[in-house]
Amino acid sequence: MNRADKSLIERILTARVYDVAKETPLDFAKNLSQRLANHIFLKREDLQPVFSFKLRGAFNRMFHLTPEERARGVVAASAGNHAQGVALAGKTLGIKTTIVMPKVTPDIKINAVRSFGGEAVIHGNSFDDAYAHARHLEQVEGMIFVHPFDDLDVIAGQGTIGMELVRQHPDPIDAVFICVGGGGLVSGVGSYLKYLYPNTKIIGVEHEEAPTLHAAWKAGQRVQLAQVGTFADGAAVKLIGEQTFELARQVVDDVILINTDETCAAIKDVFEETRTLLEPAGALGVAGIKKYVEQQGWQGKHLIAITSGANINFDRLRHVAERAELGEGREVLLAVTIPEQPGSFRQFCRAVGNRSITEFNYRYSDAKDAQVFAGVKTAGGKIEREKLLAELRALNYSFVDMTDNEVAKVHLRYMVGGHGQGVENEMIYRFMFPERPGALLHFLTSMSAGWNISLFHYRNHGSDFGRVLVGMQVPLEEREAFNQFLDKLGYEYWDETDNPAYQRFLG
């Protein structure tokens, strides 16, 4: 290693972080290890007092300020986690802190900054907008700017995680998977580990909508991205740091990109492992392990993922849950054409076999064909998915696989419906189905063969009962038989035919 690298190692060894940070555990992930046939460990930085590793670098930087600099106050720019670290460090050290945060910052992070006594200034639509405004305040107000990643004291503070890993896992580590935003974490931890163990692979993991290191890696120089996605807001940076990139290109062995579905699946994996909910950026390391192991065919390796943050807004959980099954390959989304005639639903359910229907959306359109949007639960993986599609082809179903279609996943599944054209004698009922295989088929086989289903909406919500909305065309003279059907069915139900939501949008 060169002189600068040795200087960084000295900074890491002498970094001051434990006034506010704690040595987080390295947990063995039993379930993931069994599934992936490797030894998987989670470095639990989500357990820090601010639920992120960022307070290490922030405190180390601010601790080294001179008395004169401390008196001037500190300004920082952050998408949230660095902000909390700066605010907590300021409270501990008695330094006034002002943090500029973009509008996309989750409320949970903004509120945390204020609870630590920091002044949160909301400005711009991205980290870069916030960064520019913070530098403006630095000049106008004379405050000291604390960079979120491109500063050697900040990098050294993050590098203390590497010191802990060496103590906690004394046996050889095959690879460490580290999320990348501006590059402070990967350059700090990577530099320390590579200094002691050159054979340990350092794998940078980025969301595909913010590939700062990946783009720079390919170009051989830093690349300003035109725009970045904000799903993994903790790592949504348009330009990797100058110092962090120079360090990363020396110590990082590979970079892997992760999509939203894979990120959500990793959040679910860690929840099932630890009962902790990571934020998207915090789960990138785990998603990286899963993808890299599959690509490389690794088995029996000792692999570590840094779970870097758990500052997730509660209202994002629904989106995470929806996408997690797709990320694991355990749900297939299909647009299927079936004949517009009684019994077609029942035949399609039988074609799906013993697999659970996770979603079913349908609205009557014309008298010939019906377009159904369906979700089907599978055992996972491409083989099971292809098996299902082959079975449907063998039965001459016309369909389009929508599993990888972003419009379908984000919008279409919530928009299927509309006013029925030419639908007579329609009744709308809401049902509570028990969430078990065969519940839908039992409903369909119990119906009279002459009653046509004109609307159907169902989505598995992970609870004991599924909520289903059904429209059925039942002639007036058959209403008594219909009531008998409802009584014998054994499911809770409500008549919603007069509901204004149906009358205005579906009737």
Decide if 54 is catalytic: yes
Residue whose token pair is 């920091």 = 118
SS3 label, residue 429: strand
Tokens 């050889």 -> residue = 172
DSSP-derived 3-state class of residue 307:
coil
- Residue 136 vs residues 27, 39, 87: alpha-carbon distances, Å: 42, 48, 19
Q: How many residues does the chain have?
A: 507
- CA quadruple 420, 423, 429, 435: dihedral, nearest 10: -70
Task: Give the distance, in angstroms, between the CA of residue 139 and the centroid of all CA atoms in the same chain.
Answer: 37
Q: Three-state secondary structure along 379-410?
A: CCCHHHHHHHHHHHHHCCCEEEECCCCHHHHH
The burial of 484, by beta-carbon neighbours within 10 Å (0-12 exposed, 13-18 middle, 19 or more buried), is given as exposed
Q: Vertex 275, ends 274 and 281: CA angle to 5°?
A: 80
Host H or E run for residue 281: none
Residue matched to tokens 């590793």: 53
Choose the catalytic residue: 78, 187, 191, 308: 308
Query: 467 and 461 in contact (C-beta within 8 Å)?
Result: yes
The string of DSSP codes covering 198-266 is: TTSEEEEEEETT--HHHHHHHHTS----S----TTGGG--SS--HHHHHHHHHH--EEEEE-HHHHHHH
Rounded (10°) CA dihedral 215, 266, 21, 4: -30
- Could you give the 3-state DSSP secondary structure of residue 28? strand
Strand partners, 492: 432
Q: What is the DSSP letter of 412?
A: I
H/E element, 49: none
First CA to last CA across the chain, in angstroms?
A: 72
Q: Is 503 helix (H, G, I), strand (E, B) or coil?
A: helix
Where b means 16+ CB within 10 Å and e means fewer, 315-343 reads ebeeebebbbbbbbbbbbbbbbebebebb
The one catalytic residue among 43, 54, 238, 290: 54
Strand partners, 39: 302
Q: Which residues are annotated as catalytic?
A: 54, 308
